[in-house]
Structure 1
Amino acid sequence: MHWNIYSSSTEFAVTLLAVFVVGLSKGGLGGMSLLGVPLMALVMPPVTAAAILLPVLVIMDIISVATWRRWADWQILRRILPFSVIGIGIGWATAELVSDSMVRLIVGLVSLAFVARAIFGAAGGGAPTAAARFWGGLAGYTSFVAHAGGPPLQIYMMPLRLDPKIFTGTTVMFFAITNALKLVPYAALGEFSSENLARSTVMLPLAVGATWLGSWTVRRMHPRVFYPFTYASVALVGIKLVWDGVAGL
Structure 2
Amino acid sequence: MPQDPGFWLLAIPAVLLVGLAKGGFSGAGALGLPLFALAMDPVRAAGILLPILIVQDVVSVAAFRRTWDKKVLAIMLPGAVAGVALGWWFAASVSSRAVLVAVGAISVLFGLYRLWVERGGRIAAASDSPAWVGALFGVATGFTSQIAHAGGPPFQMWVMPRRLARDVLIGTTAIFFAALNWIKVPAYVALGQFTRDNALVTLALLPFAVAGSLAGVVLVRRISMDRFYTIIYLLMVVAGAKLLWDGVVG
Same fold (TM over 0.5): yes
In the alignment, structure 1 segments of 5+ residues that lack a partner are none
* Distance apart, 1:213 and its partner CA: 4.5
Partner of 1:126: 127
Partners of 2:137 and 2:124 in 1: CA distance: 17
Hey, what does 2:171 align to over in structure 1? 169
Using the TM superposition, give the Cα deviation of residue 24 of structure 1 relative to its aligned residue in structure 2, in angstroms: 1.6
**Structure 1 residues 30 and 19, CA, compared in 2 at 3 Å: closer, same or farther?**
same
Give the structure 2 partner of residue 192 of structure 1.
Answer: 194
1:155 paired residue number:
157
Q: Which amino acid aligns with 1:108?
A: V
- Give the Å deviation of 1:83: 0.6
What is the number of residues matched between the two proteins? 240
**What's the CA shift for 1:150?**
1.6
For residue 140 of structure 1, what is the aligned residue in structure 2?
Answer: 142
Matched, 1:239 2:237: yes
Calculate the TM-score normalised by the size of structure 2. Answer: 0.80
The answer on whether the counterparts of 1:88 and 1:140 sit within 8 Å (CA) in structure 2 is yes
Q: How far off is 1:122 after superposition?
A: 8.0
Question: Does the 8 A contact of 1:104 with 1:241 survive in 2?
Answer: yes
Residues in 1 aligned to 2:218 and 2:77: alpha-carbon distance in whole angstroms = 27
Query: What is the Cα deviation at residue 135 of structure 1?
Result: 1.4
Could you tell me how far 1:209 is from its partner in structure 2?
3.5
* Structure-2 change in CA distance of 1:166 and 1:209 (3 Å): farther
**Residues 102 and 167 of structure 1: CA distance in aligned 2, closer, same or farther (over 3 Å):** same
Shift of 1:27: 3.7
CA distance in 2, matches of 1:122, 1:192: 36
1:124: how far off?
7.0
TM-score, structure 1 normalization: 0.81
User: Counterparts of 2:171 and 2:219 in 1: how far apart (Å)?
Assistant: 14
Structure-2 residue corresponding to 1:104: 104
What percent identity do the matched residue pairs reach? 35
Unaligned runs of 5+ in 2: none
* Cα distance change, pair 9–105 in 1 and its aligned pair in 2 (3 A): same
| Displacement after TM superposition at 1:93 (Å) | 2.0
Moved more, 157-166 or 16-25: 157-166
Provide the aligned C-alpha RMSD in A: 3.1
In structure 2, relative to structure 1, the CA distance for the partners of 1:203 and 1:189 (3 Å cut) is same
Determine the C-alpha separation between the residues in 2 that align with 1:127 and 1:33: 30
- Is the contact between residue 84 and residue 146 of structure 2 (CA under 8 Å) also seen in structure 1? yes
Shift of 1:75: 2.3
Local SS of the residue matching 1:191 = coil
